[in-house]
Structure 1
Amino acid sequence: MSAVLVVRGAADSGAIRRALPGVLVHDLLDLNSPLPADTAVIVLRSGVRLGERELDALPRLRHVVRTGSGIDHIDMSALRKRGITLHRNAEAGAGAVGEWVLAAALALARRIPLGQHALLLGQHEKQACMGASLGTLATGIWGAGPVGLAADWALAPYVGRTAFAAWPSNPPGLRELSQTALMEQSQLHVIALPLRPTTENLIGEDFLARVTPQRPLLICAGRLETLDIAACLRALADGRLSGLALDPVEREHLPLLTGSTTPLNLLLSPHIGAQRSDVRGALDRWAVELLKEITADDKVLIEGGHR
């Protein structure tokens, strides 16, 4: 009998077991442990790599269920080569990420992280926490996928104006500016780009040099690797950036972000943009219904005619 493998945190494995009593459900912390070779369906969360090594250990895999949007840790060409189908839900958490972006923008504009960091270091830096009104900030949004659109929806009522970086793949009807104009005119930048070879480290020294006259706030709600983190932290420390907020922080990023003994207007969170109970519930229900469909045809979970 083939099985469903749920990576811890990707979905409610208990709910899946209750909904699919005839299906064997494995529950693993990650894909670094020995993988059950009988797995036909895997349910993944963000930050979990699924490449050739993992696929070699899962010879019966036929479906990958991604309860979220990001797929940069998944080797898509390897899936295609093996005839494995990817299912994902990119929209369910977008509104929650937009809400996080709004919270981050307000926190940075009021310099709340700077004040907190100073207090934790035993310093009282009230004067350094003179903030700005969100309503005065022209905002540039980089990326017009579900997260970028949700960030625009959340911010638009409160900021001076929003505009998207012009991109060939943008949907029609958006207010766009050239990337050069966006860098020259925006006091707040929201980075909501997928990780691609063309976007890796896109927000680096060249970007920072162009935006320095505005001393903007910078928020990353997409993938951390789209930023040159070391360059951004240097820009924050020397005042070229007025604030920096990073949500998609995974465990492997921790060495890049620890050790500052100087108060910074820096907000960090462990990839919690979509981590909201209603979103989790919606994704769990979606995963259960999808798995019911996938497993309804016994042939999906049978290899060689034998359970």
Structure 2
Amino acid sequence: MTLNCVVLDDYQDAALHSADWSGIESRAAVRVLHEHIADRDELVEALADCEIVVAMRERTAFDAPLLARLPRLRLLVTTGMRNASIDVAAANAAGVTVCGTAGSSTSTGELTFALILGLARQLTVENRSLREGGPWQSTLGRDLSGSTLGLLGLGRIGGQVARLGAAFGMDVLAWSQNLTEARAAEAGTRLAASKEELFAASEFVSIHLVLSDRTRGLVGEEQLRAMRPDAYLVNTSRAPIVDQAALLRALTEGWIAGAGLDVFETEPLPAGDPLRTLPNVLATPHLGYVSERNYRGFYSEVVADIAAFLDGAPIRVLSAG
């Protein structure tokens, strides 16, 4: 019996080219959707005949009401080993196995530093001026060497960004709720005495925390007002960690110099959103994990997950905890 499999949100038409799917083609008929389906009824219609669905990160949410409308679904594979948009408990209750994949440990950290460099050298302003025939040189860039980089979170990605900052000669501070002096020193950073010190002392603040009830809204008006007026905020983690209304005010009223953003509360970012056009924002469309190597890893393990499930021995199964 051949099962139906849909790969969602393959914006770059990369899924079928990033892995060898031939090992499951006799057991699963795979089709790919390149456009995001935001309407729930349209999504249910598109997935109604599917036993297997592949989700790209958190682009499409699978909550209990949606899962209840997909009675044929048996396997849900997400790229990455964590996906806050999937209600794993509800999936399990509905008889759906949820599996994940590994991925690159470097791509998000590299993009983080690309945003830091872009902000420091005013690349948004200067590139626009060059393209539109404006002034030849209109800004003064910032030297990273000797400046302070504050990291909110010092896990795998934060530790990579710390090493990159040190390589550029930056003084790296770090803070999180459970960070110790020993762990900070191990990563080549100094432990900030408090969150307030981190924001007040840093010329660049970069966020590297997992979104949770404890971190949601962790950066609000108080923290943004504590930043230097020539400082920049960089977020490649999750948008709700930052109070978005406060961030917009900080950017438009000049509390901070600007922001580098790769994550947004609504994705894709609506066409009229001011974050698309503010001159002091360097924004990218959630590209942190979007790299050739990462996609090869994602989809190769997606195929392996599907094959293992079809063989009756699922691997990389996500738990509801």
The alignment's TM-score, normalised by the length of structure 1, stands at 0.81
Q: Deviations over 1:69-96 (max 9, x none)?
A: 6522222342343354433335x23301
Counterpart of 2:15, as a letter, is D
Q: CA deviation at 1:194?
A: 2.7
Selected match of 2:75 from 58, 63, 71: 63
SS of the equivalent of 2:234 reads strand
Q: Deviations over 1:7-65 (max 9, x none)?
A: 14287247564220222224334454314445333211132111123211222434322
Counterpart of 1:41, as a letter, is I
Task: Please say if residues 68 and 93 of structure 1, whose CA atoms lie closer than 8 Å, have aligned partners that are also in contact.
Answer: no
Rounded to whole Å, the distance in 2 between the matches of 1:7 and 1:26 is: 9
Change in 2 beyond 3 A, CA 1:81/1:141: farther
Bigger mean CA deviation after superposition, 213-222 or 70-79: 70-79
Q: Deviations over 1:166-190 (max 9, x none)?
A: 2238897234333122122211111
Q: CA deviation at 1:159?
A: 4.3
Q: Deviations over 1:164-222 (max 9, x none)?
A: 322238897234333122122211111122332333333221111222x3632111101
Selected match of 1:256 from 273, 284, 298: 273
The alignment's TM-score, normalised by the length of structure 2, stands at 0.78
Change in 2 beyond 3 A, CA 1:266/1:121: farther
* Residues 208-287 of structure 1 aligned to structure 2 (within 5 Å): 208-211=224-227, 213=228, 215-249=230-264, 250-257=267-274, 260=277, 264-287=279-302
Task: Please say if residues 10 and 33 of structure 2, whose CA atoms lie closer than 8 Å, have aligned partners that are also in contact.
Answer: no
1:76 is matched with which residue? 88
**Identity of matched residues, %:** 24
Counterpart of 2:287, as a letter, is I
SS of the equivalent of 1:94 reads coil
Q: CA deviation at 1:106?
A: 0.9
Change in 2 beyond 3 A, CA 1:230/1:287: same
2:188 is matched with which residue? none
Bigger mean CA deviation after superposition, 157-166 or 104-113: 157-166
Correspondence 1:205 to 2:215: no
Bigger mean CA deviation after superposition, 132-141 or 23-32: 23-32
Task: Please say if residues 184 and 214 of structure 1, whose CA atoms lie closer than 8 Å, have aligned partners that are also in contact.
Answer: no
Rounded to whole Å, the distance in 2 between the matches of 1:259 and 1:276 is: 22
Structure 1: which 5+ runs fail to align?
Answer: 301-307
Rounded to whole Å, the distance in 2 between the matches of 1:179 and 1:81 is: 40
Task: Please say if residues 154 and 174 of structure 2, whose CA atoms lie closer than 8 Å, have aligned partners that are also in contact.
Answer: yes
* Residues 140-179 of structure 1 aligned to structure 2 (within 5 Å): 140-168=150-178, 173-175=183-185, 176-177=191-192, 178-179=194-195
